[in-house]
Amino acid sequence: MRKKVTVIGAGNVGANCALRIAEKELADVVVVDIVEGVPQGKALDLLQSGPVQGYDVMLTGANDYEPTANSDIVVITAGLPRKPGMSRDDLLMANYEVVKTATEQAVKYSPNAMLVLVTNPLDAMCQTAYWVSKFSKNRVMGMAGILDTARFRTFIAQELQVSAQNVTALVLGGHGDTMVPLVRLASVSGIPLTELLDQATIDRLVDRARNGGAEIVKYLKTGSAYYAPSAATVEMVESILKDQKKVLPCAVYLEGEYGIRDLFVGVPVKLGALGVEKVYEIKLTDDELAALHKSAKAVQELVDILKRKM
């Protein structure tokens, strides 16, 4: 039997998630949105791409959650995106209500699903879904690190004029300005980045990766990025559905790892059929750990605001 994925939010990120899931034939997809007609129309359009693109999965759209029943994975993209001048944190209260409702409804119909969060501010939205769903921590995770890492890898590849596929890198921390690209561990086919580029160039690339989302928001003016975010999300979905056990940076609930407790923060994890199957606690330098703790503190501040509202 085919797997089933629900994508909540039929906007830019959600629709592109549905498209990528279909093109990879990972699962049947149900797209849910509050706007009447939009999820139905987009799902039908995607379904009609099947004969041309050569995929055989079912795509349906809905404004309610009944058709989502028994999903293997629920991807939550519903909510507002950023506009120029806004930080992800500015979206906190509006998107909290959206994610709260979406999680309540989704878990009612799919009590055994994994939850993959995409809505920003990402780490605080993961915490919201974790509280509301009461799922175990291995079944709630957020997409950020893969995207931040992909941006860093892209800029490194552009600078060196090499294939981005040869570039490996790791970005830790919250999905915000305080994210922590680990330059020490970045490499090109095993060659340390620090042997290929001088410090000033590396600093410039780190800075651009950190602000990679804002750079796109500034161009688009009416919203935020969606092609790379949907690609990153579907890499997580694929690793879980196919039990690939990929090691990827994701926002997960930490209980003491890296000295961080009861908080969602981006760290490397193994993603397989059981969801988050392992958290890798790698040795960090004092500076890296301090940067990670600073990033975690920024996430904690948002979570504290939510706790006061609850």
Give me the 92-131 binding string for ligand APR, x by CB under 6 A, dash otherwise: ---x--x--xx---------------xxx-----------
Q: How many CA atoms lie less than 13 Å away from 75 in the CB half-sphere? A: 34
Number of H helices, E strands in the chain: 10, 14
Residue 65 or 135: the one with the smaller Cβ distance to ligand APR is 65
What single string gives the DSSP state of each residue in 117-144?
E-SSSHHHHHHHHHHHH---GGGEEE--
16, 50, 91, 235 from 22: Cα distances, Å:
10, 8, 30, 13
Among 27, 78, 260, 302, binds ligand APR (CB under 6 A): 78
Q: Give 184-190 contacts, CB < 8 A, sequence gap 24+.
A: 184/285, 184/288, 186/152, 186/156, 188/156, 188/160, 188/162
In angstroms, give the least distance from the CB of 100 to ligand APR: 9
Q: In the annotation, is 293 catalytic?
A: no
Among 72, 73, 81, 303, binds ligand APR (CB under 6 A): 81
Q: Is 10 in the site for ligand APR (CB under 6 A)?
A: yes
Q: Which two tokens stand for residue 281?
A: 């606690």
Residue 64 or 286: the one with the smaller Cβ distance to ligand APR is 64
In angstroms, give the least distance from the CB of 79 to ligand APR: 4
Q: What is the DSSP letter of 81?
A: P
**How many of the chain's residues bind ligand APR (CB under 6 A)?**
29
Is the distance from CB of 75 to CB of 237 less than 8 angstroms?
Answer: yes
Q: Which residue's C-beta sits nearest to ligand APR?
A: 11
Among 61, 79, 176, 275, binds ligand APR (CB under 6 A): 79
Binding site for ligand APR (CB under 6 A): 8-14, 32-35, 77-82, 91, 95, 98, 101-102, 118-120, 223-224, 226, 229
Residues marked active site are found at 175
